[in-house]
Chain A
């Protein structure tokens, strides 16, 4: 009988699993490609439709940014779970002594990194297309916390729907209402930053985002193994 003393500890498990997620994405480029094309198309549509009606598209900036992020992330994160369930890799990983929490955290980290990478393209594109300059450094905590919220929620909802036939139609129905606090606080905080409000004024929305992220990551980590169970 092999003992369990040599099983890697949780931080190492997360590192190994994160490395796998990044390697698969670098090779397939599925998630990033889908996100970039979808987000840029959304911005163009928003720009033309709002400008035609109002002539001033800049007031819609925070909404355009976060709606693009929301839709792009829901498509991309679901792809990550579907890929692993179709190939059976998720089940294969659950057969090993790896902690399901490590699988969940690695997926959230990978999806957050992909969303942050998307922003490297999205923010300059918004500045260029909407002819405005964004206070990127002040927006950074909102974008990071918002991306974590989108990733954590998207990953657990996608995992729970893995074995359902009607997953495509159920995903937005379940995911979008759950993401309402993330989108509301991210959009409001971003708007206040763009409008030049002080940290004291918008920090409460950062607090809401942070609380949401902590609550969702903790609860989702605990239920992840049940969610992906066949």
Chain B
């Protein structure tokens, strides 16, 4: 069996907000092309962990490194070139069209535009009909699709998804794993969600979090039948 290398290494991460410990001694190594779900109730620390991996939050202590290189942190431009992010905020320019937004973000990653890739993203997220519409005229669900397309504009090797299902129709949710693998079949995904079905459809490994700590690390996650947390998708996992 070929040994895959660690693409993200979190070592002893702690995060405090005004004296409250939000994430405590978080240690995890994620291998290339691994798909990991961060699961847990509200306040478990899922989003904080994602924010620290993306670099938008600094850990109070501990370190996060990428590509098996302790010197590569999330602030490094090469690391940033390899990360795509979807979160509650869409990060889109409201007064620009769908295509303009994709072209704008693409231009920040690479000097030459790749029209085929943009066409693939527009098609994958069924955005071709709306590509000339301004973001301000789109509904929350359509904005979320554009946000997903934006997160893949740089052909990332790491994708951080913070509750990407918010605002998406059921059919888009169902086809999300296919869309993601179509853009990059070897992508490493970290997904923070309450939705166990979505997590199982995308991820092969699950990290159940509670009070900022990893409670369970489930390697054969797709076959797990229940977990002790409140799944907001309607499934009873208690």
Q: Which residues of A contact B (CB under 8 A)?
A: 1-4, 6-8, 12-13, 16, 20, 23-24, 27-28, 87-89, 91-99, 229-230
Contacts and interface: CB of A to CB of B under 8 A. Distances in A.
B95 to A, nearest CB: 4
B155 interface: yes
Contacts of A92: 89, 91-92, 105, 150
A23 B107 CA distance: 15
Given A1-B157, A2-B82, A95-B55, A88 B91 contact: yes
A212 B93 CA distance: 32
Contact of B93 (A1, A24, A229, A230): A24
Contact of A2 (B105, B107, B150, B155): B155
Contacts, number: 94
Interface in B143-180: 150, 154-157
Contacts of A95: 54-56, 80, 83, 85, 91
A1 B66 CA distance: 11
B107 A97 contact: no
A88 B67 CA distance: 28
Interface of B: 51, 54-58, 67, 77-78, 80-83, 85, 89-96, 100, 104-105, 107-112, 150, 154-157
7 A-B pairs closest in CB distance: A92-B91, A88-B89, A97-B77, A4-B78, A96-B108, A6-B110, A97-B80
B57 A230 contact: yes
B109 A87 contact: no
Given A2-B155, A16-B104, A97-B78, A7 B93 contact: no
B86 to A, nearest CB: 11
B56 A230 contact: yes
B56 A91 contact: yes
Contacts of B67: 1
A97 B108 contact: yes
Given A24-B93, A92-B105, A97-B81, A6 B54 contact: no
Contacts of B105: 92, 96
A160 to B, nearest CB: 17
B110 A8 contact: yes
B91 A7 contact: no
A8 B57 contact: no
B90 A93 contact: no
Contacts of A229: 56, 58
A20 B91 contact: no
B97 to A, nearest CB: 10
Name the residue in A3, A23, A89, A91 with the highest tally of chain B Cβ atoms < 10 Å from its Cβ.
A89
Contacts of A24: 93, 95-96
27 contacts: A2-B81, A2-B82, A2-B156, A4-B78, A4-B81, A12-B111, A16-B104, A16-B107, A16-B108, A20-B96, A20-B104, A23-B100, A27-B95, A28-B95, A87-B89, A91-B89, A92-B92, A92-B105, A94-B56, A95-B54, A95-B55, A95-B56, A95-B80, A95-B85, A96-B80, A229-B58, A230-B57
A89 B109 contact: no
